[in-house]
Amino acid sequence: MIGIRVNPQIGAGAIAMSSTATATSKFGIGLVDDRERVVQRYLQHAFLSGVHVHVGSQGCTIALLIAGCKAVLDLAKEIDRRRLAVGMAPLKYIDIGGGLSVDYGFDPNESEPRAITVLPDFDGYARAILEEVPALTRSDLIVFTEFGRAVSAKCGFALSKVEHVKETGGRKMAVVHCGADMFVRTALLPNVWRHRIEVFDAQGKRKEGDRSKVDVVGPLCFTGDVIGHQRLLPSIAVGDLVAVHDAGAYTLSMWSTYNTRLVRLSPSLPASSSSS
């Protein structure tokens, strides 16, 4: 499939940084700004057989995703109508993007508990499409979608050893080995990209009991290297293990070698490093 990515310019979700259908988004050609120019390219080039849209991922509602589907389908209908009028073949493919959000399940024991939003599952998303955009199911059209985060986020976790526990300025800190070089978004926007954290003893048994506020911090040389701010966690000690959940997306894939941090590419390859 060869096609053009378009931006329906229908607005942002709850997280501006992961919304890709705003008026000023860098992705795609804006349909409000340049719809006719897009259509003309499909009339000029017969090899263009599909069209692609993606409104964003985390923080985007089902309503926003459906609005993106409707916008791209409406465009495809116009392209088909005008192509058929001049003897050209209609489009064969539509890519409606992905963007189904992940419920990171924030721990209600956090120092500032937030309500857990139960998001629609894949079946719920499919039902919404079938009910509101039934034309996507026509037999002569192949529809693609790409879920990414929703598929992989909960398939992984990061497990790190507690190297040091200290208290300074009235705040308790637990220093672990993983940090902002892996949890980049968490370090930059901790209130937006916040992962569940659990504590286990050195034998791997989950710790329970009374909880107190702890900053879970990484080993890098800047103050913002924090994985969890003031989390309510059980008693935590040197040698314990900290599990950071829902790390199967946007974590190891964003790894950097800042501060000459080592990353082993495979068991058969030597560790590589880079200076900060």
Residue 85's contacts (CB-CB under 8 Å, 6 or more residues apart) are none
What integer pLDDT is reported at residue 105 of this predicted model? 63
Q: Is residue 126 part of a domain?
A: yes
Q: Is residue 233 part of a domain?
A: yes
Looking at the fold, whether 124 and 108 belong to one and the same domain comes out as yes
Q: How many CB atoms lie within 10 A of CB 25?
A: 17
User: In this predicted model, which residue has the larger pLDDT, 250 or 8?
Assistant: 8
> What whole-number distance in Å separates Cα of residue 92 and Cα of residue 49?
6
pTM for this one?
A: 0.80
pLDDT for 274 beyond 80: no
Question: Is the model's pLDDT at 44 over the cut of 90?
Answer: yes
Of 95, 130, 152, which closes a domain? Answer: 152
Q: Quick one: DSSP state of residue 101?
A: P
The confidence score (pLDDT) of residue 199 equals 96
- Mean pLDDT, residues 143-165: 90
pLDDT digits (tens, 9 = 90+) for 113-152: 454 455 667 888 899 999 999 999 888 899 999 888 888 8
Domain count, the chain: 2
Q: Which helix (H) or strand (E) holds 157?
A: none
Q: Is 74 contained in some domain?
A: yes
Confidence band of 57 (pLDDT split at 50, 70, 90): confident
What's 58's domain CATH number? Answer: 3.20.20.10
Q: What is the pLDDT of residue 10?
A: 93
Domain around 164: 156-258
Residues 184 and 104 both lie in one domain: no
129: Cα within 13 Å, side-chain hemisphere = 24
User: Are 136 and 192 within one domain?
Assistant: no
The confidence score (pLDDT) of residue 109 equals 52
Report the mean per-residue pLDDT for the chain.
87
pLDDT at 271 (0 to 100): 47
Assess whether 46 and 27 both reside in one domain. yes
Q: What is the CATH number of the domain that holds 184?
A: 2.40.37.10
